[in-house]
Amino acid sequence: MSGAMVTPRGFDDYSPYSALSDDELMKLAIDRSLIEDNNSIGSIQSSQPVDRQPNYQPNQFTTRFRLPSATRHMYDFPRANPNPANPHPNTSPANPPSADPIIDARPLVTVIKNGDLKALKEIVKCNPMSLLVPNQEGWISLHEAAYYGQKECLKILLRAHPGMVNTCGSYNQTPLLLAATFHHVNCVECLLDRGANPDIANKDGETPLFKACEKPNVEIVDHLLKYGASVHKACVQGETPLHEAAGHANVEICQMLLEAGAKLNAINNYVMEPFYVATQNGGVDVLHFLISKGADINSQARDGETPLYEASKNGHKEVVELLLSHKADANRTTKSGLLPLHVAVQKGHFEIVSMLIPATCKVKVQRSGISPLHLAAEHNRDWILEMLIEAGYDVNVQLAEDRSKMYEDHRSTALYFAVTNSNLEAANMLLEAGANPNLDMFNPLLIAVRQGYMEMITALVEHGANMNASIPTHPCSFPAVVMLGMKYMHILNYLKYLMSNGCDALSCFDCTYGSKPHPPLKTSRRGSVFGETLHYITDEDEARRNTCVQFCEAISDPTISHWAGPIIDVLLDYVGHVKLCSRLIENLDSYRDWAGIKVKANPTWQLPACPSLAPRRAPPWGLMITVSTATCQMTS
């Protein structure tokens, strides 16, 4: 056979072999002949083309892929027609051969995976170009051999195609990187011996050395360093192999890297040094080693966090102990102004807090604008709260203005945090230590009342909470505790307790309209005090702030009006003669059994000597009130 191979009639415009030389075409023809006539490796389907039949359906267990255009011709051989009387399909220019033949690639992968050297040698002999066909990930046969750790397969493949040793997959993975990633030491050594470049990185910038440090493997690191792998190449996150080795607490690899010239103070994209990364994972031994090599134990990351801060945050007690023993500075703040003590309290690391308290300067804490007490109360760290109180931290210190503004209600004391969390134990600790319950913009007593938490109310009142505190965003002409407490079923007992402890009952009957007609109730008024969270005054609140709510308006709210009679009845026990306004009279007249309550406002009615022991009339809805001098309980 001489000259160019003659293509079947009608295929001239579509021939996939036009780019091949005569010798290449001759070899392909011989290969095809060997496959069809001798069937010497019929079991190896990867060297055979799949018939392009219209109804062809791949086996569900078969791995299949489309060949790139540059390699399709390897499988698209001209086939001899066994029956000339029955022409081969697709022989018309109007119906050219398929542009995307689908090839079954699984058997070749299976041969490599199983280490079937005999079958692999036959493929190399009969169809060596098939070894260069990539799969969907861009892997060729050499990648597969490195992935499966088949060293002998690597040798055969590299003898056939020595130039493919540094072939990269779609993710820029070389066979060497795969071998290093999956700890195939023999394959790494084989590839390096045959010219593999140890510094080709994948798309994340990770080199084989980086991968060997990421999943620490001393032997692979040693081989790579011997073949000149760079210890300075960083991944896209800026981390070097030393960062990875330190982060995985591998002292031996760290020593090998430093001896090879790695920079001890190299920083990643977050300005973290290898020593800092080691503290994140609690590697005490590697920290000892790095300190001995001169690592900066007080280096700061981009956000200002130090190794001590990082160890305190992650609860690495032994690391904190090590750092403090080497004079790590416990008073370096982050860019947000926090100290290691702050984060240890926040995370609830009791033992670390006990180590940091004596090492932390209280002046530094004060300058930070937030006390560890605030964080202990906010996160319900009661044991730590007690420790801090015993250490002398001021229970009345307030948040700095900028930190207070981070909260919608502009809270400022640790006591407020405890009350908001309904943490009675913490609140009692703070109150007994001298916490003032009247420092916050919104009095903690109002929070306790809103929660309906009687034990908390009692604790605050006994320690001097202001019974007549107001709500800045909801000004009213009577005590705010009365307004906030109206929605609870135990309102009568609650009112008795408040009135007996100095709450101003008389102001509830001070109405600007008196016996005159009242304006219509604004029941749709935005932000009803019975359903809105307390928050700081904003410009949007100005109109509402300038409107003072009166008792008669609040008690006429549809959600409260069914309690109007009993509430007025209790309040009258604590005042002398008062003149009821027209709206209160309307409320009392709305239920006939409440008519007698108006008698208390009459000048002829005499106030009982002890309101808490005054005889009670049964409420109209069948509830009976039992009263004692200590507590008031309502039972049905």
**Comparison of pLDDT for 561 and 172, the residue scoring more:** 172
Please tell me whether residue 312 adopts helix, strand or coil conformation: helix
98-112, 244-258, 428-442: the lowest-pLDDT one? 98-112
Give pLDDT, residue 607: 52
Q: Tokens in use for 478? A: 């009577």
Over residues 349-406, the pLDDT tens digits come to 999 999 999 999 999 999 999 999 999 999 999 999 999 999 999 999 999 999 999 9
**Residue 599: its pLDDT value, please?**
81
Spatial CA neighbour of 575 closest among 629, 522, 509, 525: 509
Domain limits, the chain = 1-105, 478-635
| Cα four-point dihedral sign 204, 209, 211, 216 | negative
Q: Model confidence at 495, in pLDDT bands (50, 70, 90)?
A: confident
pLDDT for 235:
96
pLDDT value at 596 more than 80: yes
Residue 198 has pLDDT above 50, yes or no: yes
Q: Report how far residue 515's alpha carbon sits from residue 509's, in angstroms, rounded to the nearest whole number.
A: 12
* Residue 578 confidence (pLDDT): 87
Please state, in angstroms and as integers, the Cα–Cα distance from residue 228 to each residue in 190, 335, 605, following that order: 15, 40, 104
Residue of 54, 102, 55 lying closest to 75 (CA atoms): 102
Residue 239: band (very low, low, confident or very high) from pLDDT cuts 50, 70, 90: very high
Nearest to 384 by CA among 423, 437, 419: 423
What number is the average pLDDT over the span 174-191?
A: 97
Average pLDDT on 191-212 reads 97
| Alpha-carbon span 486 to 377, nearest angstrom | 28
Q: In this predicted model, which residue has the larger pLDDT, 312 or 15?
A: 312
pLDDT at residue 11 greater than cutoff 70: no
Q: Evaluate if residue 283 carries a pLDDT over 50.
A: yes
C-alpha to C-alpha distance for 518 and 553, rounded to whole angstroms: 9
DSSP letters, 45-63, are GGGSPPP--TT----TT--
Residue 65: phi and psi, rounded to 5, are -155, 165
Local confidence band at 474 (pLDDT 50, 70, 90 cut-offs): confident
Mean pLDDT of 194-217: 96
What is the torsional sign of CA 521, 524, 528, 531?
A: positive
Q: Would you tell me how many other CB atoms lie within 10 Å of the CB of residue 160?
A: 19
Measure the CA angle with vertex 528, ends 525 and 531; round to 5°: 145
Give the pLDDT confidence score for residue 9 in this predicted structure: 34
Check: CB of residue 472 under 8 Å from CB of residue 437. no
The predicted pLDDT at position 195 comes to 96
Mean pLDDT of all residues belonging to the chain: 80
User: Which contacts of 64-68 are long-range, i.e. CB under 8 A and separated by 24 or more positions?
Assistant: 64/102, 64/103, 64/104, 64/105, 64/106, 65/102, 65/103, 65/105, 65/135, 65/136, 66/100, 66/101, 66/102, 67/100, 67/101, 67/103, 67/133, 68/134
Residue 106 neighbours by CB under 8 Å, 6+ apart: 45, 46, 61, 62, 63, 64
- Compute the average pLDDT of residues 327-331: 97
Query: What pLDDT sits at residue 528?
Result: 45
Three-class DSSP category at 548: coil
**Tell me: the pLDDT tens digits for 404-457?**
999 999 999 999 999 999 999 999 999 999 999 999 999 999 999 988 899 999
Q: Residue 523: which pLDDT band, with cuts at 50, 70 and 90?
A: low
Question: In terms of pTM, does the model score above 0.85?
Answer: no
